[in-house]
Structure 1
Amino acid sequence: MSRKKSAKDKTERATVEEDDLMCLDEYQCSGNVEIDFPGLCALLDIEDIPSVSIKHPVSESTTEEEGQEDNQAQVNSPYKPCLQVELENESPLSVKGIKISGWKVDEQIARALTKMLPSLSQLQSLHLYCRFWQARLTDQMVISLMSTISLCSSLRAVAIEGNTLPQQSYHLLLAEDSVITQLSLRNNRIGDEGCRLIGSALSTARSTNKNLLSLNLAFNSIGDAGAAHIAQGLRLNRALLFLSLSNNHIGDSGAAHLAAILGKFALTHEEVVMRRRLLVERAESAPAAQFPTVPSSSSLTHSKGELKGISTKKEASKKEEKTAVSKENTKSVKKTSEAKVPQSKGEKSGIKEKQLSTYEDSSNAILDEQDKEAVEVVNPLLDQSVQHEKGRIFLPGNRTLISLNLSGNRITEKSLPLFLASLEMQGDGGGLSRLCLQRNRFPPDCEPYVKIKELMALREPLEVSSPEPTEEEGQNA
């Protein structure tokens, strides 16, 4: 009897949930959070609906005291569930930021949010801070959130902090097609395994994240293995500008991996194979009409001359073929010009040289444009500044990253010369302008650290007078 009753209860609950979802799907969001959020929660039969607190923009006529009083209710009751909304202007439809702090986001609340967020056309940031309790987001909720973010036209900054996921699904927020530019994942106990997934999301030989500019991984119990995974992800990533790994457990081994990718490093076998494949694909994709007299394989050999799979004999034969084709075309041009207008030998020679020169210039311009596009957009493996040493190919290193925060870790004086060497190798051609190493396990007056600070001061004069980063600073670094 009890089993029949239990099965009946489950059926009834499933029916109720289906009815709620149907009502939720039919609801048309207006873009006004004060109306939509309570309405969606009511449709989902949520009993304790969090209140909505609106933060209005401070106008010129509003004093600082009045602006503080406007949000005093939230300050006086920080433990009460409240959805904090920041407006761009006085219009209730100009929501630019949403913040959830200190209260549990369960599956029903998550459904209401995923339904409402795409209607906020001006929403730029979504912050879920959980400083006192776990947010208890699940892996499935994060997957659903990622799908919702893709529907939000202006949402670029996301912070999910103080939440542990069993399957470490945070790397999905760094997927290759993700539009997020600022991501904060502080205090989520990501650890080394989570860093492995995040490192692969940053870049591999086959894929790379092209949009993320800032990543905060502070307070995540990341050790040397995790730092090595992040360094691996930075090898071919040319988008990330700011990275914080402060207040973790990174020692000299992890620091060495991070220092290595800042300077010149050798390509792995997989990366070399991928580089060759990209070079061949780029040559084959060149439109034949742009090179009427030169075969595409010859163009590749002439412009790059690098593919190791092509022997010297093949290169020589292709050069001869190119010369023969050029001579044949020259004769054709000569016969055509003679047939149309009788000219002297000097005039014919001048026209012939001018035509060949024009063709050569246009061909080089096309190659240069393709090379530029390949380096800047396609893949750093096509970087023309690679170097060949003792049978190996070296990239100049990651010079896109401009800020690296490693403060509050376990780095000793042993690793500092590695950072110094990589920074000196970068020179003035881009690279780090800020390297935070405070609160590690070395004396602040040791020689390599002093030299690093002097070098950073030359690149960023403000660095001299800037205070040491606090634990909270990792959020912005």
Structure 2
Amino acid sequence: MEILEMPIVSLRHPGITASGMFDEMESLTPSDVSSAPPLKDQISFFRPSVQLELENEDPKSAKALYIRGWMIDTRYIFIFQKCLPALSSLHSINLWNVGLTGSTFAALLVILRQCYSLRSVVLDGNPIAGHPYYQLLSEDSPFQNLTLRNNKIDDAGAKLIGEALSTIKKSNKTLMTLNLSFNHITDVGAGYIADGLRLNRTLVWLSLASNQIGDQGATKLAEVLAPFALTHGEIVERRILLYNSQDRQNSPSLFRRPDSKSDRSASQIGSNTALDKLDKTGKGTKGTSKKKEKRDPVVPEKLLSNTQIQQKKDEARTGRKGSLVTDVRLSRSKMSRLGKDKRVMTQEQEVPEFLNPLVDFVEHQNGDIYLSGNITLMSINLTRNKITEVGLRAFHTAVQTQIQNARLSSDGRATSGLLRLAISRNLFPGTCETYTQLQKLMLARDPVSRQRMVCSPSPGHHDPQTQS
């Protein structure tokens, strides 16, 4: 392998934003524009370069890698394989216009999965035949932020991404932000993305700016935010999940403490009084030995004494034998021998127990089963598309429904649901009543800037984006 020209690795310019992406122009305030880097620095920003962000002076403490305009082929993939997994603090990688192909993308994906602290991946300006980007959204993917701008993603690619977000059988549980702006997604592709948002409960920020989405696609995206009717396949899957859950609860187990007397088996009725006394006094395990022994074989509960039954219950609560806590500790010891303690601790802290949204509370209306809408998604960017007042009304209705449901909710989550809607530079007139009403609703819900106009008319009208 011969590399005739080695790229010069330099420290990243301090004037560039930490996210490595240019902010949307409509979201910039005058103070932001005045603090932008000079024009000379902006031009040099797009020149082929390799830049690093370091936590300290140690080169191995790189936390972000930026490669722009430098063509990456199999030779550099080999270098990445040797270097990137060794950077234990690397949490962000930005590859802009590096000429990725199907083969280099597949090899790069294997390397990125070995970077256990990596959370943000930016692959802007890398159109690839077949649109394999959905592989970054697999069910076991650790990435939280993904940017795929200007990759010529069409409706076929949007379908793959939508299926990666969620289906009735699986769902992505880690991705929080997804940027699909400057692509070729139409109403059909927006419908696929909306289908992926039906059962996805982790994505909080979505950008579909500068695409070809009209009223049909905007309506489908808005319908996901409010309660929607389940399809036949979703109803069947819901019944299967409920049946399996009820079957597990009703199955006898030595380590499951009965919740009520009706839950207890007939063989335990004779010892109910003794068990209750042991629970109140807490003296059931006084005479038991504390010495660790091998796991006892499964014995029918009716053959165990009261003291043995109480010991089994204590072990289930404390996790000393056969519990999930023990399994986690064993897996941690195994990973430590492989030098992956950091990855295990991160997964234990960040990955909560996943509950399928299909088992949530539903309502029956006119023979249909309605599931509560997606209130996890808090920000949508649909600027520079082909949306008219029809699509605008769909979002207005969805936001109103979320506000009403939040006020009636028992847990008091008054700010749940969509908090920011960027829908500027579309085809609706700025004088329409729906625009004015939606603008008031979103300005009251936007926690970042209540003075910013979140909706704006078409380019032909005055657009007061920034008001002091």
Superposed pair shares fold, TM > 0.5: yes
TM-superposed CA distance for 1:332, in Å, is 7.1
Whether the 8 Å contact between 1:204 and 1:236 is mirrored in structure 2 is yes
Distance verdict in 2 for CA 1:77–1:410, change over 3 Å: closer
Give the fraction of aligned pairs with identical amino acids, expressed as a percent.
42
- Paired with 1:72 and 1:448, the residues of 2 have a C-alpha distance of 40
Q: Which has the larger displacement, 203-212 or 451-460?
A: 451-460
Which of 142, 147, 150 is the equivalent residue of 1:184?
A: 147
RMSD across aligned positions (CA): 3.4
Distance verdict in 2 for CA 1:221–1:330, change over 3 Å: same
Which of 44, 48, 61 is the equivalent residue of 1:94?
A: 61
Q: Does 1:52 align with 2:9?
A: yes
- Paired with 1:182 and 1:390, the residues of 2 have a C-alpha distance of 40
Which of 164, 169, 174 is the equivalent residue of 2:127?
A: 164
Residue identity opposite 1:190 in structure 2: I
TM-superposed CA distance for 1:283, in Å, is 2.0
Q: Does 1:110 align with 2:70?
A: no
Report Cα offsets for 1:279-320 as digits up to 9, x if no partner: 1222222363466779xxxx9xxxxxxxxxxxxxxxxxxxxx
Whether the 8 Å contact between 2:420 and 2:454 is mirrored in structure 1 is no
TM-superposed CA distance for 1:392, in Å, is 2.0
- Paired with 2:212 and 2:362, the residues of 1 have a C-alpha distance of 34
Whether the 8 Å contact between 2:423 and 2:454 is mirrored in structure 1 is no
Aligned residues: 353
Report Cα offsets for 1:22-56 as digits up to 9, x if no partner: xxxxxxxxxxxxxxxxxxxxxx3111111111248
Calculate the TM-score normalised by the size of structure 1.
0.67
- Paired with 2:84 and 2:169, the residues of 1 have a C-alpha distance of 32
TM-superposed CA distance for 1:390, in Å, is 2.7
Q: Does 1:387 align with 2:344?
A: no
Q: Does 1:288 align with 2:264?
A: no
- Paired with 1:420 and 1:110, the residues of 2 have a C-alpha distance of 48
- Paired with 2:225 and 2:263, the residues of 1 have a C-alpha distance of 47
2:197 counterpart residue number: 234
Which of 160, 173, 194 is the equivalent residue of 1:197?
A: 160
TM-superposed CA distance for 1:113, in Å, is 1.6
Which of 89, 92, 99 is the equivalent residue of 1:122?
A: 89
Structure number with larger C-alpha Rg: 1
1:403 counterpart residue number: 379
TM-superposed CA distance for 1:323, in Å, is 7.1
1:146 counterpart residue number: 109
TM-superposed CA distance for 1:154, in Å, is 1.1
Q: Does 1:459 align with 2:445?
A: yes
Question: Mind listing any 5+ residue stretches in structure 2 that lack a counterpart?
Answer: 16-34, 277-316, 318-351, 407-412, 457-468
2:409 counterpart residue number: none
- Paired with 1:109 and 1:262, the residues of 2 have a C-alpha distance of 43
TM-superposed CA distance for 1:107, in Å, is 2.0
Whether the 8 Å contact between 1:227 and 1:257 is mirrored in structure 2 is yes
Q: Does 1:206 align with 2:192?
A: no
Q: Which has the larger displacement, 143-152 or 47-56?
A: 47-56
2:242 counterpart residue number: 279
- Paired with 2:11 and 2:138, the residues of 1 have a C-alpha distance of 32
- Paired with 2:158 and 2:143, the residues of 1 have a C-alpha distance of 18
Whether the 8 Å contact between 1:218 and 1:247 is mirrored in structure 2 is yes
Report Cα offsets for 1:55-99 as digits up to 9, x if no partner: 4889xxxxxxxxx9xx99987855653211111122222101110
Distance verdict in 2 for CA 1:452–1:74, change over 3 Å: closer
- Paired with 2:64 and 2:258, the residues of 1 have a C-alpha distance of 58
- Paired with 1:285 and 1:392, the residues of 2 have a C-alpha distance of 28
1:425 counterpart residue number: 401
Name the SS of the counterpart of 2:5 in structure 1: coil
TM-superposed CA distance for 1:115, in Å, is 2.5
Calculate the TM-score normalised by the size of structure 2.
0.68
Whether the 8 Å contact between 2:419 and 2:447 is mirrored in structure 1 is no
Name the SS of the counterpart of 1:136 in structure 2: coil
TM-superposed CA distance for 1:114, in Å, is 2.8
Distance verdict in 2 for CA 1:414–1:136, change over 3 Å: same
TM-superposed CA distance for 1:111, in Å, is 2.2
TM-superposed CA distance for 1:149, in Å, is 1.6
Question: Mind listing any 5+ residue stretches in structure 1 that lack a counterpart?
Answer: 1-43, 59-67, 300-321, 338-365, 367-374, 471-477
Name the SS of the counterpart of 1:378 in structure 2: coil
Which of 223, 246, 269 is the equivalent residue of 2:186?
A: 223
2:232 counterpart residue number: 269
Report Cα offsets for 1:376-431 as digits up to 9, x if no partner: 72211111x21112332111110000000001100000112211111111123410
- Paired with 1:441 and 1:74, the residues of 2 have a C-alpha distance of 35
- Paired with 1:292 and 1:231, the residues of 2 have a C-alpha distance of 42
Which of 419, 422, 426 is the equivalent residue of 1:436?
A: 422
1:257 counterpart residue number: 220
Residue identity opposite 1:395 in structure 2: L
- Paired with 2:275 and 2:108, the residues of 1 have a C-alpha distance of 67
Whether the 8 Å contact between 2:204 and 2:377 is mirrored in structure 1 is yes
Distance verdict in 2 for CA 1:329–1:102, change over 3 Å: closer
1:445 counterpart residue number: 431
TM-superposed CA distance for 1:466, in Å, is 2.7
Name the SS of the counterpart of 2:162 in structure 1: helix
Distance verdict in 2 for CA 1:290–1:444, change over 3 Å: farther
Q: Which has the larger displacement, 88-97 or 154-163?
A: 88-97
Distance verdict in 2 for CA 1:200–1:87, change over 3 Å: same
Residue identity opposite 1:413 in structure 2: E
- Paired with 1:468 and 1:392, the residues of 2 have a C-alpha distance of 34
Name the SS of the counterpart of 2:160 in structure 1: helix
TM-superposed CA distance for 1:266, in Å, is 0.7
Return the structure number with greater helix share: 1
Residue identity opposite 1:288 in structure 2: S
TM-superposed CA distance for 1:455, in Å, is 0.9
- Paired with 1:245 and 1:152, the residues of 2 have a C-alpha distance of 28
2:347 counterpart residue number: none
Name the SS of the counterpart of 1:49 in structure 2: coil
Distance verdict in 2 for CA 1:335–1:172, change over 3 Å: closer
Whether the 8 Å contact between 2:185 and 2:212 is mirrored in structure 1 is yes
